[in-house]
Structure 1
Amino acid sequence: MAMPEQFGARWPPSSCFCIVVLLVLLTDQVLRGAEGMSVGINYGQIADDLPSPRRVSWLLRSMQVSKVKLYDADPYVLSAFLKTDVEFVVGIGNENVSAMVDPAAAQAWIQQHVQPYLPSTRITCITVGNEVFKGNDTALKANLLPAMQSVYQALAALGLQGRVNVTTAHSLDIMGSSYPPSAGAFRPDVVPYMQPILGFLSMARSPFLINCYPYFAYKADPNSVPLEYVLFQPNPGVMDSNTKLNYDNMLYAQIDSVYAAIQALGHTDIDVKISETGWPSRGDPDEAGATPEYAGTYIGNLLQRIEMKQGTPLRPSVPIDVYVFALFNENLKPGPASERNYGLFYPDGRPVYNVGLRGYLPPMDESEGTRKAVPLFALVTIAWITLLLS
């Protein structure tokens, strides 16, 4: 019996052909969905309840996310995104930075963690270390630039120079002053390291990555920091007395203060990108503002600014480049409760709050004794046939 008859009606061949065409077009749209959004997502994995990378691949593409930042170079993740056009930033952890000073070690790392996936997986940037100047490890700080240089030279030796950038991500506490934005300056103890790092970034044409969290400022002094200012809500803004530029949100002020600090050290040719920003949906009793409502407001308004391709007051023609932190709540992260509640989604795929990001996490198929995602094409096919034949 033909399939249409099972649903109580016989469909003519032309209708069946139309169904097939619709299925092909729809599936192609899903598979190419990553071309839609310009926002990036941090995909952290400090948890024991996260879905498989294969399922996460479908989730992110159904959300039309085109950029993903990892804190390592997880082979399971990179393999799950083969031929998807999703752009990746991969990371070398702080524990491995000093080893990368050795050119042979740097080349071996790239040959193992980057080269095998190119060009099928779009790896476009390597971050060497994360928030190195936040800690007190003087050896790590001293080895950061030599490690970056070694990785860069290894990429060149392997013919990957220009295809994969090399940089590092900084915490905002590298700033000694940030108000007004035009007076932004790095901490005096950071400057001796930062000057040559900026020279390297300029030479390599790599971006300056900064992790910015207006939430931290609000949490530290909720009575003095206007909530509207940190949440991108309507407010009079803050005027920079030197430039006369008006800032209606703290994130843009933080970005421009970093630009000012970089310019103070003689560079105007380095782009600043936000490698992390987010807002927790839950926290400890002493963590003011950590609620789903405020998290949704912050992320939702930020996404609107990104889609508007808006720039900062200092660089209005340069759209902000942002990686939201994070994809999932991570239940094994240490520290206060907020650290485990920055996710856009719960591990089961449910959104923590609604900001219009509609994603689909495929269910698990255990019929063959192995836990794997049901192919999205099959699910789309079932849904469309049910719809068209009902």
Structure 2
Amino acid sequence: MGSSPLPLWFLIFLLVPFHNVLAFTGTYGVNYGKIADNIPKPGNVALLLKANKIKNIRIYDADHEVLKAFKGSGIEIVVGLGNEYLKDMSVNEDRAMDWVKENVQAFLPGTSIKGIAVGNEVLGSADQELWEVLLPAVKNVYNALDRLDLTHVVEVSSPHSEAVFGISYPPSACTFKETLLPYMKPLLQFFSQIKSPFYINAYPFLAYMSDPEHIDIKYALFQSNSGIYDEKTKLHYDNMFEAQVDAAYFALEKIGFEKMEVIVSETGWASHGDANEAGASVKNARTYNYNLRKLLLKKKGTPHRPKSPVKAYIFAMFNENLKPGPTSERNFGLFKADGSIAYDIGFDGLEPSSASSSFLSLKDIGLQGWFRSSYSLVYMTSAAVLFLIFS
């Protein structure tokens, strides 16, 4: 009996590039930092995200308690491999393999780990030794995933700060610092080969804080303003966030990476700060994050890349009381430590607050199979209200 021709769907399946991982669902995500001793347990955080329909998070480590708690939630996670591991990972393939097995493979497929961020804001930092080891570490982590047949599931990336740019205004003039090009170009070449995006931490708050006399705060907060006009491209920008995203695109284009996608790995606004931290207030934080969320949910592009929807992770999930540095560092949260909202941008908190947060109802959360037995229900018949008791 002769063999039948292969079906069309199978032929298309064979042509799909498995290394092109989609590590971001939709356009909105949140950074879930944990430098605090008073924030909700990971299981409660999973409930909070689920109820508010936030599908993407980044964590700055590979905390097993978090990864276990998020099993079955459907929330897509990018885990972090800290800067302190880079030197070891760069010279030790076996160490990279062990790390991937212990912190990624062991939790798949139940926990939806979609990416590994290797290092954070390495290039442009003060530690130049890390500049040299970043790419070898990235390659060893990727090769470990490849040997485990996980490159079609887990993306490898490395987020950068604005410090990688020499010039960033106007957007079309943006360039990478010359001192970083010997490290940046090979890194981008590798990311281009494995089809990873360029991740940038973009903070209009920091830009405004550094020069409040010359930057219109309405331009930084997505409010009505005259904006800026880029003479070279004839493009108009009415907010700094999109200008920062396009600046990254222009910098990439100048060194030959026209097809690389830009994703914002961090952006946010502090709700409180020191006397010298201009613009840090609850009102401004609410305005920035409300307008940013509204912009991202439209799934539109930037003036320079109108067909490429902007994607961003908001910093951060919670105010983190143990973070060092100025007061603003401890006040970027969309939610307070108790799980209530820090200000109202359309999310519900775990508990009521003075900011008019409401209880998350069972209807909001949904009784699904991933609920843990550690959440017990107490019926208060006199009020006919259900409360979640978190053990």
Q: Contact between 1:213 and 1:279, CA under 8 Å: does it hold in 2? A: yes
Deviation at 1:359, TM superposition (A): 3.4
Tell me the distance in 2 between the aligned counterparts of 1:314 and 1:234. Answer: 20
1:62 touches 1:360 (CA, 8 Å); kept in 2?
no
Provide the residue aligned with 1:24 in structure 2: none
What is the TM-score when the length of structure 1 is the normalising length? 0.84
1:340 maps to 2:330: yes
Amino acid in structure 2 at the alignment position of 1:85: G
Partner residue of 1:114 out of 83, 104, 110: 104
Aligned counterpart, 1:386: 384
Q: Shift of the alpha carbon at 1:165? A: 0.8
Partner of 1:232: 222
Identity %: 45
Q: Does 1:81 align with 2:63?
A: no
Q: Secondary structure at the match of 1:46?
A: coil
Residue among 188, 200, 218 paired with 2:178: 188
Task: State the shift of 1:236 in Å.
Answer: 1.9
CA drift of 1:374 comes to 7.8
Separation of aligned partners in 1, 2:293 and 2:262: 18
Counterpart position of 2:255? 265
CA RMSD of aligned residues (A): 2.2
1:329–1:344: 8 Å Cα contact kept in structure 2?
A: yes
2:274 to 281, 284, 290: 284
Instruction: Tell me whether 1:253 sits opposite 2:251 in the alignment.
Output: no
Query: Among residues 80, 84, 99, which one is paired with 1:91 in the alignment?
Result: 80
1:158 aligns with 2:111: no
Does the 8 Å contact 1:232/1:298 carry over to 2? yes
- In structure 1, what residue type is equivalent to 2:100? I
Query: Partner of 1:295 in structure 2?
Result: 285
CA contact (8 A) 2:267 2:313 kept: yes
- Which protein is richer in helix relative to its size? 1
Compared with structure 1, are the counterparts of its residues 297 and 322 closer, same or farther at alpha carbon in structure 2 (3 Å cutoff)?
Answer: same
Q: Distance in 2 between matches of 1:144 and 1:112?
A: 21
Instruction: Report the Cα offset of residue 36 of structure 1.
Output: 9.7
Instruction: Confirm or deny that 1:47 pairs with 2:36.
Output: yes
CA distance in 2, matches of 1:289, 1:161: 42
Q: Which residue of 2 aligns with 1:17?
A: none
Quick one: distance in 2 between partners of 1:263 and 1:46?
Answer: 37
Unaligned runs of 5+ in 1: 1-34, 364-371
- For 1:205, the aligned partner's letter is K
Return the offset for 1:136.
2.2
Structure 2 gaps, min length 5: 1-23, 352-358, 361-370, 387-391
Preserved CA contact (<8 Å) 2:46 2:70: yes
Check conservation: 1:79, 1:121, Cα contact below 8 A: yes
> TM-score with structure 2 length normalisation?
0.84
> Partners in 2 of 1:374 and 1:52 — Cα distance?
14
* C-alpha contact (below 8 Å) 2:125/2:163 kept by paired residues: no
Report the Cα offset of residue 360 of structure 1. 2.9
Structure 1 distance, partners of 2:330, 2:235, is 36
Query: Is 2:58 the counterpart of 1:66?
Result: no
- 3-state SS of paired residue (1:324): strand
SS at match of 1:190: helix
SS of aligned partner of 1:169: coil
Larger radius of gyration: 1
- The code of the aligned residue for 1:286 comes to N
User: Partner letter of residue 140 of structure 2?
Assistant: S
